[in-house]
């Protein structure tokens, strides 16, 4: 089985995905920023490697055939972190994946990223960074899946989502549901070369991915 490199493994979605993917039998390598974070993944029986999206991380790709980019600076950090992590870090990860001939790259992006000026002012720079990173991935030679979740919550995952953006049904999705979507994106071939808007809903996640619903690239 191919090894998956997780970039942003120590974040909220990253930890959930690593646990779920491990339980599903995937072979994983979690990239973390320092040795202190390695102990958590070691205790979970997950291989870890120290690397920094703002610095050196090419070595983390060695032996990995699939990549999950779940890193994100978010609205609480400054524009400098957004540029270095969400934009340039993501672009460098795509370029390294191209260089190594990676078999699949799953990018966790953001809902409505294609309309960054419609976002709240504090989020616009983040949305622009995500949009440009997505575009670089879509223009690359790497087989890709782009997941665009709405507003993230810490609610318990329902295992069901929707791809239709309906303001009357809200714009939230639990981090756990996103993590489950990443697992299915690696499990099902129909996820390759697709873009999925993601919100909490009523369609079982495996069914949604299997349908290949949402947007083709």
Given the residues 61, 69, 105, 126, select the one marked as catalytic: 126
Of residues 127, 138, 57, the one with CA closest to residue 92? 57
Query: The tokens 């995937």 sit on which residue?
Result: 26
Residue 61's contacts (CB-CB under 8 Å, 6 or more residues apart) are 5, 67, 96, 97, 100, 102
Which tokens sit at 192? Answer: 């390759």
**β-pairing, 203-204 with 160-162?**
antiparallel
40 tagged catalytic: no
- Angle at Cα 107 formed by Cα 133 and Cα 168, nearest 5°? 95
Catalytic sites, residue numbers: 126
């Amino acid at each position: 089985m191919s090894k998956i490199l997780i970039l942003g493994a120590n974040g909220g979605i990253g930890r959930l995905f690593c646990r779920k993917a491990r339980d599903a039998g995937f072979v994983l390598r979690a990239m973390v920023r320092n040795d202190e974070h390695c102990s958590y993944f070691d205790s979970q029986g997950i291989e870890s490697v120290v690397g920094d999206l703002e610095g050196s991380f090419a070595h983390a790709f060695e032996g990995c055939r699939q990549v999950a980019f779940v890193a994100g600076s978010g609205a609480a950090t400054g524009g400098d972190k957004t540029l270095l992590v969400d934009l340039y870090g993501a672009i460098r990860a795509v370029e390294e994946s191209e260089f190594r001939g990676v078999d699949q790259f799953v990018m966790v992006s953001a809902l409505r990223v294609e309309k960054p000026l419609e976002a709240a002012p504090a989020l616009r720079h983040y949305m622009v960074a995500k949009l440009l990173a997505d575009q670089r991935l879509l223009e690359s030679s790497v087989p890709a899946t782009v997941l665009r979740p709405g507003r993230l919550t810490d609610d318990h995952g329902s295992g069901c989502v929707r791809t239709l953006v309906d303001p009357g049904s809200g714009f939230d999705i639990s981090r756990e549901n996103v993590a489950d979507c990443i697992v299915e994106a690696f499990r099902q071939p129909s996820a390759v070369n697709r873009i999925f808007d993601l919100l909490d809903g009523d369609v079982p996640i495996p069914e949604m991915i299997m349908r290949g619903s949402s947007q083709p690239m």
